[in-house]
Chains A and B, each alone.
Chain A
């Protein structure tokens, strides 16, 4: 069960704030302030975070802050006994890239040990565990844009197997020179705005953020009278085995991941009320996603509302999975589906019901959130309204 949500995004600094921003279509994408990326296009979903802890890389500061939020949102005591067996399952695409950048700039051989200790990808999960005192199982998933999605699914699987009763599952990624430069030289970035599934789409916009779901074993949550946002009831992963960076044109792996997730949840395709898509706004990704989703949903594809949150918060890379799942779960809890900003006219090849313009008030019982990544990785997670 999801009993707590903590988020830091370009448009929100709390779960409540995030829900409000999504409902009202409030974008956090604007001209970057923290550094000059050196490209004409300098818009991004930058988090308004004052870095106060010099011992931690920015990504860990984002992660720790959002983790505290999730615990508070779940109404768990910050110093409680529940922490003894609590797990941390973190996903990150770039990890502490800023720390690596700094170390290389001043020379790896002479860099301060504390800085070097921040560089490994698994320092994010370690820092969250140490700062919050969480002594349970831990994992670090590093699968580009599906990282935090898979982290959530790993945590849920551990819980299902009885290995822990409570865990933080999510992830973080920060904006860095490396990301901005890399996606720009790959020509993946938009020159205008990010408009997923739109006929005029021309690329993605980057973002940063951190998100955590406080997952609790059902009986544990009910015994303490926890508020339950929803139940993570199914997950699936599949690979394209097609190309190092491009998705399979027919969305083959995505369709398989979604089918596995529904099978795992023991739900038919017809149970899906809403699909939160990856929707980066690139030509290749959006086209492949449409085909994959249409292949799975069949004739229902035109009637099941879909969306992408990336125009509002940017593509938060490893954090995208948990942030967009959290946004979708908050929407389900409060009775709306957030709009896909900047989407005006669908690509003729895309026959999905893209929620656009304003958020749509609707009752959702079962949603599925999908993400795809470099290397042909695809992950889908099914969440249903708690009974």
Chain B
């Protein structure tokens, strides 16, 4: 029988705010958007050897990873390090470092490339930095897979624990808003002209991209209970589906696959934590897919309304938001929300003392794929 998988730590990093409380105040308070801010873990001469050369992506990932481990109070010795897995997902990865290196050799010649920048030109450089910073030596994986990259990372980490190959896994995502990444993103989803994310709103006019990172700690539930960890949620199902059209990813199929994995009927879901980002077509597509898969309207909350489009980190932020909902109920949506008749989802406009049992996190990719995740409220 597969081991049960618990969520025991959250490490969100968003616009300079680090940690669970910072995320809570953003989602439940009145904090608005802020310009992207570089997060700088210790670097330079005093940094751990091997971490001095981190690029922005690496710094975001390390900050979020360390925050998650701290939040989980997960400490492991050298003899246990091989039992902790590591999985990292990123939408566009290290395009910033790739561009920096290429600009450099164009300007100075191919023999004068910067070796420090070069070592950051693979997406798993960030994973390597996290490993060095945390000492994790278990199974590790890196996925550069667009918006679903974070889901891929969570799936990998979950499987390691289910199969007993790891007792814990640090899983997460980060994305840097480099110039090429922003330009590519603009092709897929136009940016909002007014700089406001309004998922499912009739007035929505595009996305607001944000840099960010979010790692979560997954643990074997029995072991987490044994060490007295705070269990924030349990992952009970994951599913994915592939398709050939990037504008209509098979989200309904992914949701059904997750329900099948969890052995739950559609009626079990009582909250959707959406990753809709304010794109006109994307929000409409998600609405239809969720209604088709769940066969009825279900209450929706949408973290990107506060966080913006965090790319590969969207699903990890969504998972973190779901854990906060389990703890204290739903946050309110924008009170000025004007529902789009094409997106008839019951988006909350007032705080609710809703305490869901099963939460669905759907995420549509930008390449024709889709993922879905199911969380269950933890009861000792």
Q: In the docked arrangement, what's the CA distance between A157 and B141, Å?
A: 14
Q: Does A374 contact B (CB under 8 A)?
A: yes
- Inter-subunit contact B367/A244 (CB<8 Å): no
> When chains A and B are docked, how far (Å) is the Cα of A129 from the Cα of B99?
27
Contact A185 B115 (CB under 8 A): yes
In the bound complex, residues from chain B placing their C-beta under 8 Å from that of A374 are: 119, 122, 124-125, 128
Nearest-CB distance from A65 to chain B (Å)?
A: 19
With A120-B146, A143-B124 given, is the CB distance from A129 to B81 under 8 Å?
no
Which of A110-118, A298-306, A322-330, A345-353 is the interface stretch? Answer: A110-118
Please determine whether A138 and B140 come into contact, CB atoms closer than 8 angstroms: no
| Interface locus among B104-112, B203-211, B337-345 | B104-112
- Proximity string of chain B (362-373) to chain A, C-beta cutoff 8 Å, 1 when within and 0 when not: 000001110000
- Mark contacts of B146-182 with chain A using CB atoms, 8 A cut-off: 1 yes-contact digit, 0 otherwise: 1000001000100100000100000000000001100
Beyond A37-B110, A111-B183, is A120–B98 a contact (Cβ under 8 Å)?
Answer: no
Residues of B within 8 A of A150 (CB): 141
Bound Cα distance A96, B156 (Å): 24
Q: Tell which of B131, B180, B242, B369 has the most Cβ of chain A within 10 Å.
A: B242
Give the residues in chain B near A120, CB-CB below 8 Å: 91-92, 144, 146, 184, 367
Binding site for B on A (CB under 8 A): 37-39, 87-88, 93-95, 97, 100-101, 103-105, 108-109, 111, 113, 116-117, 119-123, 125-126, 129-130, 133-144, 150, 154, 157, 163, 177-178, 180-182, 184-186, 236-245, 252-253, 256, 260, 264, 373-377
* B residues in contact with A154, CB < 8 Å: 141, 156
**What are 22 pairs between A and B in contact, CB < 8 Å?**
A95-B144, A111-B183, A117-B187, A119-B184, A120-B367, A121-B123, A122-B144, A135-B242, A138-B242, A138-B367, A138-B368, A139-B143, A143-B142, A177-B102, A178-B121, A186-B115, A238-B82, A238-B137, A241-B131, A373-B124, A375-B128, A375-B131
Residues of B within 8 A of A (CB): 49-50, 53, 81-82, 86, 91-93, 95, 98-99, 101-103, 105-106, 109-115, 118-119, 121-125, 127-129, 131-132, 134-146, 152, 156, 159, 165, 179-180, 183-184, 187, 240-244, 246, 257, 367-369
A229 to B22, CA, bound (A): 54
* List of B residues within 8 angstroms of A136 by Cβ: 242
B144 touches A244 (CB 8 A): no
Distance, CA A221 to CA B377, complexed state (A): 41
Q: Is the CB of A103 within 8 A of B145?
A: no
Contacts of A180 in B (CB 8 A): 110
For the complex formed, measure the closest distance between the CB of B23 and the CB atoms of chain A, giving whole angstroms.
27
Q: A139-B143, A142-B142, A239-B136 are in contact. Are A256 and B121 (CB under 8 A)?
A: no
Taking a contact as CB atoms under 8 Å apart, the answer to whether B142 and A104 are in contact is no
User: Are B102 and A244 in touch, CB under 8 angstroms?
Assistant: no
Instruction: Report chain B residues within 8 Å CB of A103.
Output: 180
Please give 15 more A-B residue pairs, beta carbons under 8 A apart, in addition to A100-B98, A142-B124. A100-B99, A117-B184, A119-B180, A120-B144, A125-B367, A126-B367, A126-B368, A129-B368, A140-B144, A143-B124, A163-B257, A184-B113, A185-B118, A186-B115, A239-B137
Contacts of B134 in A (CB 8 A): 241
Is the CB–CB distance between B110 and A244 below 8 Å? no
Cβ contacts under 8 Å, B82 to chain A: 238, 256
The distance in angstroms between the C-alpha atoms of A154 and B137, with both chains bound, is: 19
A94 to B114, CA, bound (A): 17
Q: Which residue of A lies closest to B135 (CB)?
A: A241
A215 to chain B, nearest CB (A): 15
Tell me the minimal C-beta distance from A279 to chain B in angstroms.
Answer: 20
CB distance from A260 to the nearest CB of B (A): 7
The 6 A-B residue pairs with the shortest CB-CB distance, nearest first, are: A375-B128, A182-B118, A38-B110, A121-B144, A142-B144, A237-B139
Partner of A377, one of B111, B128, B129, B135: B128
Q: How far is the CB of B110 from chain A (nearest CB, A)?
A: 4
Instruction: List chain B residues, Cβ under 8 A from A138.
Output: 240, 242, 367-369
B309 to chain A, nearest CB (A): 15
Q: Is the CB of B183 within 8 A of A109?
A: yes
CB distance from A129 to the nearest CB of B (A): 6
Cβ contacts under 8 Å, B143 to chain A: 139-142
CA distance A101 to B105 in the complex (A): 11
Which residues of the partner chain B approach A239 to less than 8 Å between Cβ atoms? 86, 128, 131, 136-140
> Does the CB pair A182–B121 fall under 8 Å?
yes
B98/A178 in contact, CB under 8 A? yes
- Say which residue of A97, A123, A240 sits within 8 Å of B137 (CB atoms): A240
Contact residue among B53, B187, B243 (Cβ-Cβ distance under 8 Å from A113): B187
Residues of A with C-beta under 8 A to B105: 177-178, 181
- Which one of B135, B144, B179 contacts A108 once the chains associate, using CB atoms below 8 Å? B179
Q: Decide if A39 touches B152 in the complex (CB within 8 Å).
A: no
Contacts of B122 in A (CB 8 A): 93-94, 142-144, 374-375
Residues of B within 8 Å of A125, CB to CB, are 145, 367
* List of A residues within 8 angstroms of B92 by Cβ: 120-121
Nearest-CB residue, chain B, relative to A161: B159
Q: Is there contact, CB below 8 Å, between B142 and A100?
A: no
Whether A38 pairs with B180 at a CB distance below 8 angstroms is no
**CB–CB B119/A137 < 8 A:** no
Please name all residues of chain B whose beta carbon is closer than 8 Å to the beta carbon of A101 when the two chains form the complex: 102
Cross-chain contact A105 with B145 (CB below 8 angstroms): no
On whether the beta carbons of A129 and B183 are closer than 8 Å, the reply is no
CB-CB < 8 A to A109: which residues of B? Answer: 183
> Which of the listed residues B86, B99, B121 has the most CB atoms from chain A within 10 Å of its own CB?
B121
Given A119-B184, A139-B145, A141-B141, decide whether A129 and B244 contact each other with a Cβ distance below 8 A.
yes
Given the complex, which residues of B lie within 8 Å of A184, measured CB to CB?
Answer: 110-111, 113
Task: Indicate if the CB atoms of B137 and A104 lie closer than 8 Å.
Answer: no
